[in-house]
Amino acid sequence: MNSERPKSKPPITFLIICGVALLYGLFARLLFASRAFENYGSIVSWSFICVLPFAFGALVTFLGFKLVGPSTFWRIGAPFIVITLAFFISIITDLEAILCVIVAIPIMAPSAMIGGIIMAFLLKKSSGNLQVSFIAFLPFLSAPIENIWQKPHQQVAITDTIEIDATPEQVWAKIVSVPAIQLEELPSQWIYLLDFPKPIAAEIDHHAVGGKRLATFERDVSFFEVVTEFKPNKKLSFTIEADPEFIPHTAFDQHIIVGGRFYDVLNGSYTIETTKTGCKLILTSNHRLSTPFNSYAGVWSKWTMNQIQNSILTVIKNRAESSTSF
């Protein structure tokens, strides 16, 4: 087992190893997402995002060493290639959203490679049969243990600002109600290239505290807002309610449904500050994160919301600075 000289690697052998690993990964993915397993674990967990790819990589290396022979390729390269293939298949089959895959790759790909390295080390000491069996079951054993601990809640405030060459009155008129946004009005943002729903409009029933504001996005996504602060030409604040049962499940990936167990948008506010050249518009939103890795999730949440908020601010800026009526 100390030899690093691999045997011949016919394509069919690699395909068989890929098939076995992918079936293992698919079984785990479906089980972790099933209602039958929801009391024991979930996809948004360390067991799934870290332990499972570790086991996945170990399995690939074990099969490669057994069927082909020890080599650096089967220790490091193959786990990375096969899990990358799994990501690609999950996207083209709509099993996962592109954004979720992008978020997962920085953790899952290295975990798979570490699993391969450790399995290669274990195979130098023994046959590895018992070890690979234990590692393959490890994600399903760790998930119920991890699930005992309640997911921590963390609130995150995300703020974006834009300078507008217009009066506070002109800006205020564009934020209280937002008539239908045309596609050409929205700036190009990575988040929309990743198929995130684009904002469409916002309507308010009456201009006062207690007024109800309806914000709509593509794919029938709606957010119900209640005005909590109404200071004309200065500040508009509102609570945000998203009903997960109302939002179509095709609009977002199931792990990032707004109002769900892992993520929610709580409230928002527009603040107008007068400047020498016009005014400054500040958009702030507060979010709830309830994952085992809030710090990491918070980075992606901030990036996503910065893109969305900046695109909305850009629309308001262009409309306020233009003499065109919308």
Band of residue 108 on the pLDDT scale cut at 50, 70, 90: very high
pLDDT tens per residue across span 197-241: 889 999 999 899 999 999 988 878 888 999 999 999 999 999 988
CA distance linking residue 260 with residue 130, whole number of Å = 39
Average pLDDT over residues 44-72: 95
Band of residue 248 on the pLDDT scale cut at 50, 70, 90: very low
Kind of pairing between the strands at 154-164 and 199-204 = unpaired
Regarding the domain delimited by 154-321, which CATH topology (the fold level of the hierarchy) does it fall under? Alpha-D-Glucose-1,6-Bisphosphate; Chain A, domain 4 (3.30.530)
Band of residue 277 on the pLDDT scale cut at 50, 70, 90: confident
pLDDT of residue 326: 42
CB 259 within 8 A of CB 242: yes
Q: What is the largest CA-CA distance in the chain?
A: 77
Average pLDDT over residues 155-159: 93
Band of residue 20 on the pLDDT scale cut at 50, 70, 90: very high
Q: Name the strands in the sheet holding 199-204, side by side, starting at the edge strand that comes first in the sequence.
A: 154-164, 279-289, 263-274, 235-241, 221-231, 212-217, 199-204
Band of residue 323 on the pLDDT scale cut at 50, 70, 90: low
CA distance linking residue 69 with residue 4, whole number of Å = 8
Query: What is the full DSSP assignment across 230-272?
Result: EETTTEEEEEEE--TTTS-TTTS-GGG-TTSSSEEEEEEEEEE
CA distance linking residue 99 with residue 91, whole number of Å = 10
Tokens 């703020």 belong to which residue? 159
pLDDT of residue 264: 83
Does the pLDDT of residue 250 top 70, yes or no? no
Half-sphere CA count of 237, side-chain side, radius 13 A: 9
Q: Is the dihedral of CA 256, 261, 262, 264 positive or negative?
A: positive
Does the pLDDT of residue 62 top 70, yes or no? yes
Domain spans in the chain, listed from the N-terminal domain onward:
11-148, 154-321
Does the pLDDT of residue 324 top 60, yes or no? no
Average pLDDT over residues 40-67: 95
Cα end-to-end span (Å), the chain: 73
CA distance linking residue 37 with residue 314, whole number of Å = 44
pLDDT of residue 243: 58
Query: What is the full DSSP assignment across 125-179?
Result: HS--HHHHHHHHHHHHHHHHHHHHSPPPPEEEEEEEEEEESS-HHHHHHHHHSB-
Average pLDDT over residues 282-305: 90
pLDDT tens per residue across span 227-236: 999 999 999 9
The one-letter code for the residue type at 86 is A
Band of residue 10 on the pLDDT scale cut at 50, 70, 90: low
Does the pLDDT of residue 245 top 60, yes or no? no
Report angle CA 19, 23, 28 to the nearest 5 degrees: 150
> What does the buried/exposed string (b/e) look like for 51-82 if buried means 16 or more CB atoms within 10 Å of the residue's CB?
bbbbbbbbbbbbbbbbbbbbbebbbbbbbbeb
The one-letter code for the residue type at 72 is T
Please name the helix (run of DSSP H) or strand (run of DSSP E) that holds residue 224, with its range, or none. strand 221-231
Average pLDDT over residues 142-158: 87
pLDDT of residue 325: 42
CA distance linking residue 232 with residue 190, whole number of Å = 33
Phi, psi of 273 (to 5 degrees): -120, 130
CB 21 within 8 A of CB 112: no
